[in-house]
Structure 1
Amino acid sequence: MAKLTAIFSRRLRGWRFVLFNFALGLGNISAAFMAPTYLAIEPHTAGDLEGTFVSFVIWSQTYFFLAMTLGFPVGRVLAERYGNYRVYIVSMLILAVACYFCAISPGYLEFMYSRILLGLCAGISLLLGQELMLNEYPARSKITGVIIWGILSVMLFGMGPPIGGWLADEVNWRYLFYINGFIALIPAGLIGALLYDRGFHRVYRPFDFVGFLLFAALAYGIQALINMGNDFDWFESPFLRRVLLLTLIIFPYFIIWTSGQRHPLIDLSLFKRRTFVIGLIGVSIGFFAAQGLFSYLTLRLQTIMGYTSTLAGQEIFPLLLLTVPAAVGVALFSKYVDPRLLASLSLLGFAATCYWLGMYDQPGWYEQTFWPVFFMGIFFFSYMGPLTAIALRGLSNVQLIRAAETINMFRIAFGGLGIVSDGIIEYRRTPYHQLHLANHFGGRQYASYDVLEQFSEKLDKLGLDQVSIIARAGRLIHEEAGVLTVADAFLLGSFTLLGLATLVWFVPANKPPIIPPTPIQEELLEEKIETAEVTD
């Protein structure tokens, strides 16, 4: 191990410490803000980028998440070799450049490649930003720093869609990237000034580059299959068949390669622990459902219900009102309550609110989504802390770091899969509902009950001709089928979360180990027994 000769400064104090936290907060906003904010501007982006399909534009969001996943291991090895604050500054500068490229992209492909670069820099920045923050906090205050960082991340999820929607409606969606790029330059400059001449120990830890390439190819192969399946008829497409074949070849080779490495990208020995596997499944599938459902709801409110991007983003805002206090409360009480109970209750509450939204089968009811989304805020992020504690239980320091990085990688990767997976429900269930509603309207379901005739008579009295009446009926069927499909997605999400709440109880109770008494303790116990007998 080689060391770089440098001066190691003391921790920041006073106004420098406050300014340091402000800079890292802006960096967190710039890196994480583009994930939730993009939800509300997808229709605008699709229309402006050469009029591409909305389903294609979603790919840029899923690849963004996947690039964030790959940013974690890349950021770790670069920080060890060049210093965490130096890599952080460079990543924020490149992030600003990527935002600029996104803003000026004339076509979809240029935009998607810029989003991938943006996601990679965002993953590196989030990882190193939290590390820089914890390094400046004293040991007794580190939990406070973690809570502040978590609160900021949670707030972005609720505030991002309304802000992005307003910018898209009132200004232009491209200004979202211009503004974010400008914000990214501020923490880069402030951190560089505050930590100037800060030294570090250079560590040449082996990096599993082959394993990284295999994991990236495997992850992007799976993501491409899910992204393109609906639009290209799944495995009827020769290209997707080749992608599937390549993915099936890479997967076992990745397992074999990783098993033989001393410093693997993913420590497969962790998957031998039941607690880690269940915790990882809970965090990943939970975030899969959460990210997918709200992405789908925000998009369908615009494409089916005719909501503006601002209104669609505001539907998510009530989530913020209780999410922060609930997450802080769970973090504070997790030391005193069984994490299985906290995780199970959070998942059950999340499932109940998803079921509540799944009962919304009429377009007008979406004006009343405030209360289910409001109460969902209690459970939205509360399950992650207890499930992470379950996954990390009983691990050594080295395993703990690897396990935490693995959990973050899988959580973000599954979030990207969740965004596009609800499109599968749309493609499968919408035609079913349209056929069912057409049969109902056309009198083919009940011969004695012709809804279309009654509907036509009402519109005929309003002066509409027959062509307009049929077109209006078709639009109503299309809208109602879309609403029922959204309800199906939330019901499926509810049942999935219910299964996770049950799975948590397969984790063994965290009982303290039974330590046999030492010979001295046995002698003292015998003396106490003899003394008690004499006294009697």
Structure 2
Amino acid sequence: MTAAADEKLTGWRFLLLNVALGAANVIALSNVPGYTIMVPYVSGDLGGVTPSFGTWGTTDHMMGIVMGLPFARWLSGRYGNHRVYVAAFLAYAFFSLLCATSETIWLFVPFRFLLGLAGGVILPLGQALALGEYPERHRTFGVALWGVLSMAPFTLGVFMGGFWAEYFDWRTLFISNIALGLPIAGVVGALLYGRSHERRITRFDWVGVLLLTIVLVGAQTIFNMGNDFDWLASPLLMTIFVAVLIALPTFVVWELGERHPVLDLRLFAHRNYAVATICSVLGFLVVQGSLSVFVGQLQLLLGYTSSLAGVVYLLMAFLAVPLVAIVHELVRNVDLRLLASLNFIGFGVTLTWLGMFDKPASFDQIAAPMVFFGFSLATFFAPPAAIGMQGLSGQRLIRAAEEMAMLRTAAGAYGISLQYVVQFRRTPFHQLDLADFFGGRRFASLDLLGQLNEKLQAMGLSEAVTRSLMGRMIRQQSQLLGLGDAFLQGGFIFVCLAGFVWLARPAAKPEPKPDLIRLEAEELMEQP
């Protein structure tokens, strides 16, 4: 190794590395929301399963990201950030190929999990490589730039996924991973070739990883399959449930006695970290669940094309992108609890706004709240991250950031399934209520269904056809009301979080020039 190889990149090499790492970050993150908008297409193509099966490709992918994060720390310590990063991107391209060539949902979902596992290694290492090349005086700019790139998957990623699914093929998403991923791996490997690293060999908590996988993936499987397989009435889901019940307390006892745990539970003894993590986890559960469910229902219930549904999400960028670039400076000059509380209230108002419409809303009725959703999303990650970092330093801070990212990502996967559960459970209630109301059972003089039936038959439609049309109208409206209930529930959770965040202690005045470790932890905590 030469000393020249360890010097920071400058000029066009520095710029090229940032372009490659930034594009890689967008690709890895876009494979969650970019795939979600494709679920109706994927479900129909992979054996004609229902869209609820297709969502497994999202939730299991996110669980793969969760389990990949601890491997990133361990592998980078042994082999160096850039070597592991290049290898992980090659694996990412290979698993993308397997996803693109899958013909059944039962093959596709495991490959999506493995793709997420490689993505979980890529995301934190890409941030570390990028920030490590910035001069000290420009690192805050690097954090702001990385924050802007982190918003792209929720906006541009969804739009591109919808565009590809409608005009090309859903498999294009995974083919693009290969076409872009291989050059990125080559560029990063070439620019950082010969770099030395401080070798850190630590004991890896294989038992903790195994137990954590059983708990997280097992619970996710129950949430995924519950609606379709009658929950614990299914022998398979009951077996998984028993395994989770046994693994969870075993995991807690094991981790408390482990010197290098995969999840350091002692961090929750820090009050601010505990409060910040709870807010971040519950908030992201609602945010990820709401965005994922909504983009599917725009197509299935309101008849939007996938590209038009992507445009709805692209609207979030108008306020999100410029705001996320400056939010890092806001958290250094404003009471973090106040900023977080206002953000949660903003989410509560926006979700209530979305949850109040009870008819097939037109584009402009949905566009306005989505713009404000983007505003709230841009200011969601930074305040809890800054609160959680208070009182932590060094490698303990990096561990805290990693754990918050792990738990938040897992919560996002749970949120997708749970929001579908809320809609699924509330739909029959609204369907019966609407049938009673419009069928004259509640008010004998108000038999609107009977009047509509007579008018349709007078137009020449048979009684069977008119009943089918009216039943479909009631089902659509009841599903919209069920979706509205999911939004309203999310709004209520955010209002509760707006008060809960004040349990954190007041933050000390932050240092004017945070060190590299703090910036890396801050960016990891804020990664969607």
Confirm or deny a common fold (TM above 0.5): yes
Which residue does 2:162 correspond to in 1?
165
Pair 410,146 (structure 1): closer, same or farther in 2 beyond 3 Å: same
> Residue 424 of structure 1 aligns with which residue?
421
Instruction: Name 1:253's counterpart in structure 2.
Output: 250
Counterpart pick for 1:404 among 383, 401, 406: 401
**Corresponding residue number in structure 2 for 1:521:** none
Q: Which has the larger radius of gyration?
A: 1
Deviation larger for 457-466 or 125-134? 457-466
Q: Of the candidates 137, 151, 154, which is equivalent to residue 151 of structure 2?
A: 154
Correspondence 1:227 to 2:224: yes
Is the 2:2–2:194 contact (alpha carbons within 8 Å) kept by the matching residues of 1? Answer: no
Distance in 2 (alpha carbons) for counterparts of 1:203 and 1:509: 36
Distance in 2, matches of 1:266 and 1:147, equals 28
The runs of 5 or more residues in structure 1 that have no matched partner are: 513-536
One-letter code aligned to 2:91: I
User: Are residue 335 (structure 1) and residue 332 (structure 2) matched?
Assistant: yes
Alignment of 1:267 with 2:264, yes or no, is: yes
Question: For the Cα contact (< 8 Å) 1:214–1:254, is it kept in 2?
Answer: yes
Give, in whole Å, the separation in 1 of the partners of 2:357 and 2:467: 26
Q: How far did 1:147 drift? A: 1.2
> What residue ranges of structure 2 are gaps of 5+ in the alignment?
510-528
CA contact (8 A) 1:433 1:484 kept: yes
User: Who is 1:66 aligned against?
Assistant: 63
Using the TM superposition, name which of 248-257 and 439-448 deviates more: 439-448
Query: SS at 2:228's partner residue?
Result: coil
What residue number does 2:515 align with?
none
> TM-score when scaled to structure 2?
0.94
Q: Are 2:189 and 1:195 equivalent residues in the alignment?
A: no
CA separation in 2, counterparts of 1:464 and 1:199? 78
Say which SS state the counterpart of residue 436 (structure 1) adopts. helix
Asked if 1:345 corresponds to 2:342, the answer is yes
Q: Please state if 1:239 is matched with 2:236.
A: yes
AA aligned to 2:491 is: S
In structure 2, the residue matched to 1:387 is 384
Deviates more, 1:364-373 or 1:278-287: 364-373
After superposition, give the CA deviation of every residue in 1:317-370 in whole Å (9 maximum; x if it has no partner). Answer: 111110122222321111111100110011111110111111111113455211
* Structural RMSD (CA): 1.5
Instruction: Report if aligned partners of 2:439, 2:446 keep a CA contact under 8 Å in 1.
Output: no
Is the counterpart of residue 280 in structure 1 residue 277 in structure 2?
yes
Displacement of 1:165: 1.1
The residue aligned with 2:501 is 504
Runs of 4+ in structure 1 deviating by more than 6 angstroms, as ranges, are 4-7
- 1:307 to partner: Cα distance: 1.9
Tell me the CA shift for residue 32 of structure 1: 1.3
Structure 1 SS opposite 2:9: coil
Asked if the contact 2:286/2:415 (under 8 Å) is kept, the reply is yes
Give 3-state SS (helix, strand or coil) of 2:55's partner.
Answer: helix
* Bigger Cα displacement from structure 2, 469-478 vs 27-36: 27-36
Listed one character per residue, the Cα deviations across residues 276-314 of structure 1 (whole Å, up to 9, x for unaligned) are 111001111111101100111111121222222112222
Match of 1:525 in 2: none
Q: Cα–Cα, structure 1 residues 185 and 511, in superposed 2: closer, same or farther, change >3 Å? A: closer
Which residue is equivalent to 2:84? 87
Which residue in 1 is equivalent to 2:517?
none
SS class of match (1:52): coil
Structure 1 window deviating more from structure 2 (381-390 vs 333-342): it is: 381-390
**In 2, Cα distance between equivalents of 1:235 and 1:271:** 32
Q: Indicate if the aligned counterparts of 1:6 and 1:197 stay in contact, CA closer than 8 A.
A: no
In the alignment, structure 1 residue 372 sits paired with structure 2 residue 338: no
1:372 Cα deviation after fit:
0.7
C-alpha distance in structure 1 between counterparts of 2:459 and 2:120, whole Å: 57
One-letter amino acid of the counterpart of residue 106, structure 2: L
Aligned to 1:110: 107
- Alignment partner, residue 463 of structure 2: 466
> Counterparts of 1:404 and 1:386 in 2: how far apart (Å)?
13
Query: Could you tell me whether the CA contact under 8 Å between 1:350 and 1:497 is conserved in 2?
Result: yes
The one-letter code matched in structure 2 to 1:321 is F
CA–CA distance in 1 between the matches of 2:217 and 2:30?
23
Q: Hey, what does 1:142 align to over in structure 2?
A: 139
Match of 1:526 in 2: none
In the superposition, the TM-score normalised over structure 1's length comes to 0.92
Q: In the alignment, residue 116 of structure 1 is paired with which amino acid?
A: F
Shift, 1:164, TM fit: 0.9
- Whole-Å separation in 2 of the counterparts to 1:211 and 1:452: 59
Deviation by residue 1:229-271 (Cα, 9 ceiling, x = unmatched): 1111111112212111111111111111111111111112111
Question: Structure 1 residues 298, 511: CA separation in 2 closer, same or farther (over 3 Å shift)?
Answer: closer
Q: 1:127 aligns with which of 115, 124, 127?
A: 124
Task: Identify the residue that residue 353 of structure 2 maps to in structure 1.
Answer: 356
2:436/2:442 contact within 8 Å kept: yes
Counterpart among 32, 35, 38 of residue 38 in structure 1: 35
- 2:180 is the alignment partner of 1:183: yes
- Per the TM alignment, residue 463 of structure 1 is displaced from its structure 2 partner at its CA by 2.6
The residue that corresponds to 1:216 in the other structure is 213
> Do the aligned partners of 1:437 and 1:477 also contact (CA within 8 Å) in 2?
yes
> How big is the shift at 1:490?
0.7
Q: CA contact under 8 A between 2:96 and 2:174: conserved in structure 1?
A: yes
Q: Which residue identity is paired with 2:361?
A: G
Q: Distance in 2 between matches of 1:204 and 1:7?
A: 26
> Are residue 492 (structure 1) and residue 510 (structure 2) matched?
no
The answer for the alignment partner of 1:13 in structure 2 is 10
Q: What is aligned with 1:300? A: 297
Q: Which amino acid aligns with 2:365?
A: Q
Question: What CA distance in whole angstroms lies between the structure 2 residues aligned with 1:467 and 1:234?
Answer: 34
State the alpha-carbon separation in 2 of the partners of residues 511 and 316 from structure 1: 37
Answer whether contact 1:326 1:379 (CA < 8 A) is retained. no
**Structure 2 CA distance, aligned partners of 1:509 and 1:171?**
52
Partners in 2 of 1:308 and 1:378 — Cα distance?
25
Question: 2:460 and 2:11 mapped to 1: Cα distance?
Answer: 74
Aligned equivalents of 1:191, 1:163: Cα separation in 2: 25
CA shift digits 1:77-108 (9 cap, x unpaired): 10110111011001111111111111111111
2:35–2:173 Cα contact (<8 Å) kept: no
Q: Secondary structure of the residue that 2:325 maps to in structure 1?
A: helix
- The CA deviation at 1:430 is 0.5
Q: Separation in 1 of the partners of 2:312 and 2:442?
A: 36
Q: Secondary structure at 1:252's aligned position in 2? A: helix
Moved more, 359-368 or 299-308: 359-368
Measured in 1, the distance between the counterparts of 2:404 and 2:99 equals: 29
Would the alpha carbon gap of residues 190 and 511 (structure 1) be closer, same or farther in structure 2, given more than 3 Å must change?
closer
Distance 2:18 2:475 in 1: 50
Q: Is the 8 A contact 2:208 2:261 kept in 1?
A: yes
Is the contact made by 1:35 and 1:61 (CA closer than 8 Å) also made in structure 2?
yes
- One-letter code of the match for 2:307? T
Cα distance between partner residues in 1 of 2:164 and 2:507: 49
